[in-house]
Amino acid sequence: MEYQIPSVDGGQPARLALDERPESLTALTLDAIRSAITDATLPPGARVTEAGLAAQLDVSKTPVREALLKLRQVGLIEEDGRRGWRVVRPSLERIHDAYEMREALEVFASRRAAEAGANDRNEAIVPAAQASLDGALGGSAELFRQWDSAFHLGVARATGNARLVEAIEDVHSLIVTLRQRDAPHLEFHVECAEAHLRIAEAICTGDVALAEQEARAHVHQVRDYVVTSFSQREAREAQARLR
């Protein structure tokens, strides 16, 4: 099922699609809106309403409202007036805030997982890290992203803390969405995947200090890359406006 979202510039309406009706309509609605943010079909600053999205998606306002509340929790949508919502605009402050949260959560998760050492929960971490590297080396951004998510959530689940898993899912969703939209460069994926392997090996050998060190270095590495990429893009756009 296809639907349209009015354009923000008066041009042709943007088109999104619901492929099927899932068991959870909210989940599909959430995925559709998040995908539209990722590919900039809903660009930064775009204003949406529950009623408008519900009409375009051909669903009731309830799953749209639930999806928007989740996206607000993640940090991709913000309230705009009594009945409106707006896609957040990227900024250096938002990037730093997101990565500070990621560092706090993922370094702690890596420590807790390493304290447990080799066990059933940890056994899937190394294969996920290796698969992310295989995808990156093979030039598949999609495969890399799939196993990147599997790796980070695998580390979170290894802690056995369901609330921590949920928090890491949220910050990972925010960062992945913004990274795909604002810094979609595949060549960096190989470095990310190599870091995954170092973290995974430290966790599975029970080296707590090394797991923390590698997890923190990984977060800083990606943060610095995204900040540099974002700053360069902002500079290019500023120059273009002066022409």
pLDDT digits (tens, 9 = 90+) for 45-79: 999 999 999 998 889 999 999 999 999 999 999 99
Q: Indicate if 231 and 173 belong to the same structural domain.
A: yes
Per-residue pLDDT tens digits for 20-29: 555 588 999 9
* pLDDT number for residue 17: 60
Higher pLDDT, 130 or 240: 130
Distance between CA 29 and CA 15 in Å, rounded? 14
* pLDDT number for residue 1: 44
Measure Cα distances from 40 to 12, 46, 148, 162, 196 in Å.
14, 9, 22, 32, 28
Q: How confident is the model at residue 15 (pLDDT cuts 50, 70, 90)?
A: low
Q: Indicate if 57 and 104 belong to the same structural domain.
A: no
Q: Domain span at residue 173?
A: 92-242
* pLDDT number for residue 2: 43
Percent above pLDDT 70 for the chain: 88
Is it the case that residue 4 has pLDDT exceeding 80?
no
* pLDDT number for residue 3: 40
Total count of domains within the chain: 2
Q: Indicate if 98 and 181 belong to the same structural domain.
A: yes
Measure Cα distances from 155 to 88, 123, 142, 160 in Å.
29, 10, 20, 10
Q: What's the whole-number average pLDDT of the chain? A: 86
The helix/strand count (H/E) of the chain reads as 9, 5
* pLDDT number for residue 60: 92
* Average pLDDT score over residue span 109-131: 88
Q: Indicate if 22 and 125 belong to the same structural domain.
A: no
Q: Indicate if 83 and 22 belong to the same structural domain.
A: yes
Q: Indicate if 60 and 96 belong to the same structural domain.
A: no
Residue where one domain finishes, among candidates 63, 87, 111: 87
Residue where one domain finishes, among candidates 72, 87, 102: 87
Distance between CA 107 and CA 113 in Å, rounded? 10
Amino acid letter for position 157: R
SS (H, E, C) 128-147: HHHHHHHHHHCCCHHHHHHH
* pLDDT number for residue 24: 85
Cα-to-chain-centroid distance, residue 94: 13
Tell me which residue of 121, 132, 119, 130 sits closest to 157, measured CA to CA.
121
* pLDDT number for residue 48: 93
Residue where one domain finishes, among candidates 60, 87, 114: 87
* 57, 3 Cβ separation under 8 angstroms: yes
* pLDDT number for residue 210: 97
* pLDDT number for residue 20: 54
Q: How confident is the model at residue 242 (pLDDT cuts 50, 70, 90)?
A: confident
* Average pLDDT score over residue span 123-135: 93
Q: Indicate if 120 and 191 belong to the same structural domain.
A: yes
Q: Indicate if 129 and 225 belong to the same structural domain.
A: yes
Q: How confident is the model at residue 13 (pLDDT cuts 50, 70, 90)?
A: low
Q: Indicate if 176 and 218 belong to the same structural domain.
A: yes
Is it the case that residue 142 has pLDDT exceeding 80?
yes
Per-residue pLDDT tens digits for 79-108: 998 779 999 988 889 899 999 999 999 999
Q: Indicate if 96 and 193 belong to the same structural domain.
A: yes
Q: Indicate if 103 and 65 belong to the same structural domain.
A: no
Q: CATH number, domain at 82?
A: 1.10.10.10
Q: CATH number, domain at 97?
A: 1.20.120.530
Q: Indicate if 203 and 117 belong to the same structural domain.
A: yes
